[in-house]
Every structure is written in C-alpha cells, then in structure tokens.
Amino acid sequence: MIELQDVRKRYGKGERAVEALRGLDLEVPAGSLYGLLGPNGAGKTTSLRILATLLAPCSGVVRVAGLDALADPRAVRERLGYVAQEVALDKILTGRELLALQGDLYHLPRPQRDGRIAELIALLGMEGWIDRRCGTYSGGMRRRLDLASGLLHRPQVLVLDEPTVGLDIESRAAIWQVLRQLRDQGTTVLLSSHYLEEVDALADHLAIIEDGRVIAAGRPQELKAALGGDRVTLRVREFSDEPEALRVQQLVQTCPGVRQVVVNRAQGYSLNLVVEHDGVVEQLRRQLSEASLPVFALAQSRPSLDDVYLQATGRTLMDAELAVAGSRDPKAERKQAMR
C-alpha cells in the first residue's frame, strides 16, 4: 500500500545542509497497522510529510495505493488521510462546524458529509462536546477532532505523526482503540512514534529509523525473538562516572554467554546486556564479586523493542533522544520552522 525507495531529503545548501533522509526504503502492507519508531530527529516527520505530498523529496520513488505520489499528488490525497503532529484548529468554530468545513473541502455531498460526521462523532466519543467551540477543548479532545478530520473522506491509508504525544492515559487508550478498529476494517494505518510501548501494543509491522535510514524492519515479535536472549540491566555500587562504567563493561564482556554490553548513560551509567541463558547472570555475579565490584541492582526481562533498538544502534532509544536534544541549535530550529 505504501512504498518508498531510496528516498532522500536535504534541507539547506552547502556546509550547513542537513540530510533528513539518506536513502530511506519502506514497504507497508495493505490493511496493516505499521509503526515507525525512532528518536526525535530521525526523519519520521519528513517521511510522513513526503507521503502526504506536503514535501517533495530530493530523489527517490514514493508510491501510495499503487499511485506515483510525485507524479499525481492529487490522486494520492484523495486516498490518504494525514494527521500532523501539531494540532491546528479554528478556536471560533465548533467541532461539528469544523468537520463540516473539512467535508466541503473534500467536496462531499451534504447528506454524505453529515452522515459521516455523525459516524465519527460516535466512533471517537465526541458527543458530549462536539458542539462547543474548539478553543475550549483539551488536548485529548483536539486530538480526537483532528483524527476525525483525517478520516472524514474514508481514506484507504491513514498517516499519523505522533498521534498520542502529550495525551493523558484515557485519551491515548481511546485513540488506540480507534486505530485497531480501523485496521480491522481494512484501513492501512501508518503511525510514527517514539513511545516504545505504543508501537509494541499497536503495530503488526514496524521499522526503526535512525539518522534518516531504516535500520531494522519486521514484525515486533520476530524482531525481539531474533535477539536470542534475555535483557539484563546491571549496576554496581561503585558506578559514579563513565570511565568506571566502561571498566566494568570490559570486565562483563569477558563473561561467556554475554552477547552485547552497552553503557546506558540515561540511567546513571547502568549496563544493558543481552544474555543467552539464565546461568549467565550467576556467572556475572561471581566475576564482579571476584573483582570487588558487588552488584548494586540487577533486573532480567524478556527482550523488548528497546532491546531491538539497542541491538541495531548500540544505544537505547532514551540515549538517542538525549543525544538529539543535546545537539540541537535552538536558533537554527527557529529559522528552519520559519522557512
């Protein structure tokens, strides 16, 4: 249903140019709920805006529902609903009036438009507040109304950019339920997120994006099973700085059965390990004790999507978020937003 081949996008020119996408390849099966997972700045929003024909790539192939999105963007828009990360609603209109305006923009006949609005009001639980002005809505209300706008013309493909960011638990659960219903009814849903639990709970398939490329893709359970071991999070009492953590990392790597060791700076220089079997944990305890490094905290669990990300990139998703946040130039971001 969605196909991206070697898609590249560069912002700016010369030495200050930023490569947002560096040969992105993506295939989304029809009727699936597909998740794009990655830290802020990985290229998720750029990818979705290109799919929605709001942004032109520098090169590459973009197909939606069998159509060339670069050659026939209008036909693609007729088949695609797009819910952006930032919700922008007219504060004066009521929710019902805004949906009616959206239906007119799609040239829906009035009876069809009004019937569809009634369906979406019921589907998204908006009966109690849809006739209030949008300026009075909470974040969850605004997000549901924005989702309704994207669904008004019954699109074959629904594209959502961080659909639940900043929402409370109740609003997030309501949107999750709607997305599952849409998938079950045959709509292809593509959503981006940096919430691991959201992608794990919703997605039939997923792709992990890092630095403008897909670095891993597949079904969540298959990606986790491919790690071939449990996750262990370890801290020793003497951990106080990065050099100490690196010294312990070198020691732990000599233990048979340890497949990968990464220093997790986001959690006080703990170590994230992938181990082959339960006996490795006891061996770790013995080696650390012999080195006068008693275990301070240790947790063992089944592989998660964060472990898949760790395996693919050598760092956790939280570490990636912190690295992006630390490298941001606020002045450059404001200039880019103005452009």
pLDDT tens, residue by residue, 10-48: 999 888 899 999 999 999 999 999 999 988 889 999 999
Tell me: do 242 and 264 sit in the same domain. yes
| Res. 310 pLDDT band, cuts 50 70 90 | confident
Does residue 165 register a pLDDT over 90? no
Task: Out of 194, 218, 242, pick the residue that ends a domain.
Answer: 218
Does residue 64 register a pLDDT over 80? yes
69's enclosing H/E stretch is none
Distance CA 152, CA 73 (A): 19
pLDDT at 327: 57
Tell me: do 287 and 158 sit in the same domain. no
Beta bridge partners of 3: 27, 63
In a domain, 319, yes or no: no
Q: Beta strand pairing status for 18-28 and 33-37?
A: unpaired
pLDDT at 334: 46
Task: Out of 155, 190, 218, pick the residue that ends a domain.
Answer: 218
Does residue 115 register a pLDDT over 70? yes
Percent of the chain with pLDDT over 90: 53
Residue 240 belongs to domain with CATH number: 3.30.70.100
User: 288 near 295, Cβ under 8 Å?
Assistant: yes
In 237-281 the beta strands, taken as DSSP E runs, fall at: 258-264, 270-275
Q: What is the DSSP string of 33-78?
A: EEEEE--TTSSHHHHHHHHTTSS--SEEEEEETTEETTT-HHHHHH
Tell me: do 160 and 55 sit in the same domain. yes
| Res. 286 pLDDT band, cuts 50 70 90 | confident
295-300 average pLDDT score: 83
Tell me: do 174 and 278 sit in the same domain. no
Tell me: do 180 and 136 sit in the same domain. yes
Does residue 181 register a pLDDT over 50? yes
pTM over 0.85: no
pLDDT at 267: 62
In a domain, 157, yes or no: yes
Q: Regarding predicted confidence, which is higher, 208 or 228? A: 208
Other Cβ atoms less than 10 A from the Cβ of 115: the count is 12
In a domain, 318, yes or no: no
Tell me: do 73 and 188 sit in the same domain. yes
In a domain, 330, yes or no: no
Q: Regarding predicted confidence, which is higher, 55 or 294? A: 55
pLDDT at 336: 46
Range with the lowest mean pLDDT among 53-62, 159-168, 296-305?
296-305
Beta bridge partners of 2: 28, 64
Tell me: do 118 and 197 sit in the same domain. yes
Tell me: do 21 and 104 sit in the same domain. yes
pLDDT at 337: 41
Q: Regarding predicted confidence, which is higher, 314 or 69? A: 69
Tell me: do 182 and 203 sit in the same domain. yes
Tell me: do 69 and 165 sit in the same domain. yes
Other Cβ atoms less than 10 A from the Cβ of 38: the count is 28
| Res. 171 pLDDT band, cuts 50 70 90 | confident
pLDDT at 242: 67
Task: Out of 218, 242, 272, pick the residue that ends a domain.
Answer: 218
In a domain, 6, yes or no: yes
In a domain, 85, yes or no: yes
In a domain, 333, yes or no: no
Q: How many domains does the chain have?
A: 2
Expressed as residue numbers, the domain containing 18 is 2-218
68-91 average pLDDT score: 91
76: CB partners within 8 A, 6+ apart = 53, 64, 65, 67, 69
Residue 91 belongs to domain with CATH number: 3.40.50.300
Tell me: do 161 and 19 sit in the same domain. yes
pLDDT at 182: 94
In a domain, 310, yes or no: no
| Res. 338 pLDDT band, cuts 50 70 90 | very low
Distance CA 246, CA 248 (A): 5
Tell me: do 212 and 250 sit in the same domain. no
Task: Measure CA 221 to chain center.
Answer: 17
Residues in the chain: 339
Q: Beta strand pairing status for 59-64 and 67-68?
A: antiparallel
